[in-house]
Amino acid sequence: MPAAGGLARTATSNGQWTFLIDDIVAGRWVNPETGDYATVPYDSIVIADSLDGAEADLVRDLGLGPRLAVVFDQATEAALGERVAQRLGSIATVERVVLDAPHADMRSVEDLAARTRGVDALVAVGSGTINDLCKYVTSCDGRRYCVFPTASSMNGYTSTTASITLDSGLKVSLRSHAPSGCFWDLSVSASAPKFLAASGFADCIARSVAQVDWWLSHRLLGSAYSTAPYVIQDADEAELNRRAASLPAGDIEAFGYLSRVLTLCGLGISFAGTSSPGSMGEHQISHYIDCFAGDRHPGTLHGQQVGVASLTLARVQQSLLASETPPKLKPTEIDPQDMAQRMGREIAAQCYADIAPKRLDAVGAEALNKRLAELWPALREETRPMMIPVSEMESLLRSAGAPVSAKDLGLSSDFYHEAVLHAREMRNRFSFLDLAADARLLESFVTTED
């Protein structure tokens, strides 16, 4: 019998960390939207309390080739990289590639491609930056890669996109490919610095605001939408939230659920063909911070910023949806010269062109106002089950050890206000940031954020 789309069991009640994930990877899971077996581009996903001694067998089964580059930085070398390199020496010729303070940008992409040109495949040992670099390099040249995460810090390990900063300085999600294998050693993740898991948890909590944004875009503009990404992670999200306070203590069960939710989010992106299931207005705010803070950037992780931005966006969403009447939209006011002053001319021109489809003129604003008036009562009811109350979100983030304000991040209020006001200018995804801004309400929301 095929695995059903609905989920009643949890990982521990089934005795293994990859139940459901195994069915999805093997093509045994039926997508409840389509009634068809789901297909995803992975060969193996393993989550275990420990993988010590299993590394060679896991990679051998992927058939990556006889020459492998194991890629890590100095921190992940000590955490897991050297162990993986030594174990893989029994099945392949291994070249160790140590990255010095890597950044996920085009210069690093070119450098890694040159340094690994003579190998068959890459083995990433690390977290966001190392994974994205290995993912994008191999997607460009047709090679394969696998990843051993060293921290539960973000949800991009199994996604089919890579977050890369272009030469212009603009950070974008580039279409890429999935790892052939993703191998979680929970004992390693649980031993990582506590702020890394808090960052990953914050990336998970963003699901609620991203789903509401994506649903708004679907209902208002007719953009694509899929329930499958949420169906597969719903039960595990609830289990993870119940264990948020156990993450700072390094509890293996809490890390098991965190790793599952991060993995399932990546699988959901594969189903949807877009990162929208977990990345809408809140991620745009974080991207704005990363791209334009400059010397004001406090060195916080993307996920930490996403958690704070999720609280901001949740307050915007829940305030607007509390009203029985929809906001009244007006023509979009975005000044390209002001964008150029804040972003630089090249990035501003690129972004201004990208967001052209969602910029409203008078006719477009009136059309959307009519549509909003028709669907607003239904929209309020439809989004209610998707939302987590702001107070609950904040409590969960605090219990996981995550920042909950710009002050916690180390950002000035002025710059954070700028990020919230202008994040919508970065890409063509319509969110509640656009709804509030075009209703001339966003600035009043922003003044209450610190």
> What does 259-281 look like in DSSP terms, one character per residue?
HHHHHHHHHHHHHHTSSGGG-SH
Identify which has the larger pLDDT, 438 or 271: 438
pLDDT at 135: 96
Indicate the pairing of strand 144-149 with strand 181-185: parallel
Q: What pLDDT shows up at residue 16?
A: 84
Of 261 and 128, the one with more pLDDT:
261
Tokens 């998707």 sit on residue: 386
- pLDDT of 281 reads 97
Q: Judge whether residue 220 has pLDDT over 90.
A: yes
At 414 the pLDDT is: 96
Q: What is the distance between the alpha carbons of residues 198 and 302, in angstroms, rounded to a whole number?
A: 11
Q: What is the pTM of this model?
A: 0.93
pLDDT tens digits along 13-59 = 444 899 999 999 999 999 988 899 988 889 999 999 999 999 999 99
Task: Please give the Cα distance from 83 to 369 (Å, whole number).
Answer: 59
Say if residues 125 and 72 touch (Cβ distance below 8 Å).
yes
Q: Return the percentage of the chain with pLDDT > 90, whole number.
A: 86
pLDDT given for residue 3 in this prediction:
40
Q: What is the pLDDT of residue 58?
A: 98
Q: What is the pLDDT of residue 119?
A: 98
Backbone phi, psi, residue 337, to 5°: -70, -40
pLDDT band at 11 (very low <50, low <70, confident <90, very high): low
Q: What torsion do the CA atoms of 210, 214, 220, 223 make, to the nearest 10 degrees?
A: 160
Span 153-181, average pLDDT: 89
Q: Measure the CA–CA gap between 423 and 150, rounded to whole angstroms.
A: 30
pLDDT at position 171: 86
Query: What tokens were used for 317?
Result: 């969403």
Strands 171-175 and 161-165, bridge-based pairing: antiparallel
Radius of gyration of the CA atoms of the chain, in A: 22
The residue type found at 344 is: G
Which of 207, 227, 222 is CA-nearest to residue 313?
207
Which amino acid, residue 379? L
For residue 161, what pLDDT is reported? 85
The sign one gets for the Cα dihedral 417, 422, 428, 432 is positive
Top pLDDT among 273 and 364 is at 364
Task: Catalogue all structural domains in the chain, each as residue range(s) with its CATH number.
Answer: 40-192 (3.40.50.1970), 276-446 (1.20.1090)
Using a 10 angstrom Cβ sphere, with 0-12 exposed, 13-18 middle and 19 or more buried, the burial of residue 218 is middle
Averaged pLDDT score across all residues of the chain: 94
